[in-house]
Amino acid sequence: MDTHDIYAKLRERGKHARSAFCLARIPLGACVEIELTFEVASGHDLA
């Protein structure tokens, strides 16, 4: 199963989301990126 199959089954729920924001308190104006990757266990109904 590839990404397109997952999108087809989950429709809007299967699309990714991104968010970016600034915080005034991060030292030296550093950028921070947080990434989450997960997998849906096989055997579960995606519909």
Q: Is the pLDDT score of 14 beyond 60?
A: no
DSSP, residue by residue, 1-47? --HHHHHHHHGGGGS--------TTSGGG----------PPTTS---
Burial of 9 (0-12, 13-18, 19+ CB in 10 A): middle
Amino acid 37: pLDDT: 73
Amino acid 15: pLDDT: 60
DSSP tag of 26: S
Average pLDDT over all residues of the chain: 69
Q: What would the pLDDT profile of 17-39 be if each residue is shown by its tens digit?
A: 666 666 677 777 777 777 777 76
Short-list 35, 4, 2, 41, CA closest to 20: 35
Q: Is the pLDDT score of 9 beyond 70?
A: yes
Tell me which of 27 and 42 has the higher pLDDT. 27
Amino acid 45: pLDDT: 63
